[in-house]
Structure 1
Amino acid sequence: MIQEKLDTGYLVETPEAIELSARLAGPVPRVLAYAMDFAIRTIVLLVIGLAFAFLGNTGLAVILLISFFIEWLYPVVFEVLRNGQTPGKKALGLAVVNDDLTPVTWSTSLVRNLLRAADFLPVGYAFGLVCMISNSRFQRLGDLAAGSLVIYRQAADKRAADLPDVPSQTPPLILDLEDQVAFTGFAQRHKQLSESRKEELATILQPLTQKSGGAAVRYVQGVGAWLLGRRQ
């Protein structure tokens, strides 16, 4: 029981029977990342406030409008368009993902960030902090509602670096477990195989992929990367 509480590893099995893993981020790095993002937002708002302060009521309306978008859309835009990372999270090596470890979506990010209003209660994100330390995945209320997690990006990047630098490819048809293992193994062993051997193995699947030579190698590697969780 104690080991389970101390272990920040997270495993999920995809529909393709492939296990993906990540390391969950606890309250301390998440609080530090939020503090950095809060400081950035504050500085931006101060600059905007000085720029529009001389426009009277019109300037005040512009400031209030911009402040609303910065407060609520700043994290959403960064999380969706910057691999789950706001500047603060990037500085701490963190990222937001869906709880199946796929990239965070617009709807997921909107829900988790809009519910920051509830996490803030009664003051200073006290409810969100209590919620985080009360569950093994360190999820605040917004994460629980949206189905999201905050993980350490470096571990995911390290695993991705071990895969070939090719675009991921959706499998051409439903693969059984043996075929999935063959595709993923081909992708993971790309540094151990010679180019001629890669082409020889990949061309065997030409009736399925309609590709041969280097194109077949890249395609099969791309399917393997997709099965291993790279969906971008």
Structure 2
Amino acid sequence: MRFFNRIILQTPESVELEFTLAGIGNRAFALLIDYTCLGGFLIAFLVVWLFVSKQVLDLVVQITGSANGVDLWLTAITILGGFVIYVGYFVFFESLWRGQTPGKRYTKIRVIRDDGRPIGLAQATLRALLRPFDDTLFLGVFLIALGRQEKRLGDWAAGTVVIQEEQTIAAATFPISPAAEALAAQLPEIADLSHLLPDDFAVIRDYLQRRGAMSSKAQSEVNLQLARQVKEIILLEKVPSNTTPDLFLEAVYLAYQQQSTK
């Protein structure tokens, strides 16, 4: 019996990745943590804003002799501010932490796009704006429980899916060249491997495992595009001379694996 569903996504490099979906239990626990944190932010906002509002209202009454509808404007600002904090909490963290909020980070789940890529500001914003609809009458719970991809309304609109983070790293089933081993030892000094997510590592690993079955043309196209994207992710300014895309990807694979096991 499998307690979690699996999903296969295809990346723009035509590499298939298999992930474990987060499951309604993990998502509910993550949301409980997030709503607890969010409640703290909202309470702090209300305390500060109510104090400011009282000062503003008292000042207006002293000057004009009446509220002149200012109290209604202050109430409207209170409601708007609360909504901005509600939406902004999820947008801020999911954009900053590449698909994770404090709750998702604690429960080790993450939001990614349907092609396996990390979500951006647009996806995080769309998911957050539709969250109130998902929370109304537990609509999101029903959609997650009944759908094979466990998507709520916000996920369908944004083209995202919530997965469990990879906890283990598969051993290589392909040879690593001595030149790649030498480059792997240098990479931690000239690049920032911390920006490489387990999902990014999985793409590199799957390509290196499957490259032998690709045609020369397809292999050249995929490894060049993948190497360029990885170079940007790890903030590497310049690839060492005489380094082929395959050698570079092997080195990144090995360096990331060594760093993760420390």
TM range (shorter): 0.5 to 0.7
Shift of 1:177: 2.9
Q: Does 2:86 align with 1:76?
A: no
Q: How does 1:83-232 map to 2 (within 5 A)?
A: 83-121=98-136, 123=137, 126-153=138-165, 155=166, 158-159=168-169, 176-179=217-220, 211-212=240-241, 216=243, 220-222=247-249
Offset, 1:27: 0.8
Contact 1:183 1:221 in 2 (8 A): no
User: Secondary structure in 2 aligned to 1:15?
Assistant: coil
Deviations 1:132-175 (A, max 9, x none): 1111111011101111011112x0x644998x66568xxxxxx8
Question: Residue in 1 aligned with 2:204?
Answer: none
Determine whether 1:47 maps to 2:44. Answer: yes
Distance 1:15 1:68, change over 3 A: closer
Taking the aligned partners of 1:52 and 1:161, their CA distance within structure 2 comes to 55
Report how far residue 90 of structure 1 moved: 0.6
Tell me the alpha carbon deviations over residues 201-220 of structure 1, each in whole angstroms, 9 at most, x when there is no partner: xxxxxxxx99536xx27984
| Greater Cα radius of gyration, structure 1 or 2 | 2
Following superposition, which runs of at least 4 residues in structure 1 exceed 3 angstroms of deviation?
Answer: 56-66, 157-162, 164-168, 178-184, 217-220, 222-226
Among the aligned pairs, what percent are the same residue?
27
- Give the root-mean-square deviation of aligned CA atoms: 3.7
Q: Structure 2: which amino acid aligns with 1:146? A: A
The gaps in structure 2 that reach 5 residues or longer are 58-73, 173-183, 197-215, 228-237, 254-262
Per the TM alignment, residue 17 of structure 1 is displaced from its structure 2 partner at its CA by 2.7
The structure in which a higher percent of residues are helix is 2
Q: Distance in 1 between matches of 2:81 and 2:87?
A: 10
Query: 1:16, 1:224 → 2: CA distance?
Result: 19
Question: For residues 34 and 182 of structure 1, what CA distance do their matches in structure 2 show?
Answer: 38
- Residues 16 and 177 in structure 1, CA contact (< 8 A), matched pair in contact too: no
**1:18-37 mapped onto 2 (5 Å cutoff):** 18-37=15-34
> How high is the TM-score relative to the length of structure 2?
0.59
Q: Give structure 1 stretches of 5+ with no counterpart.
A: 169-174, 187-208, 227-232
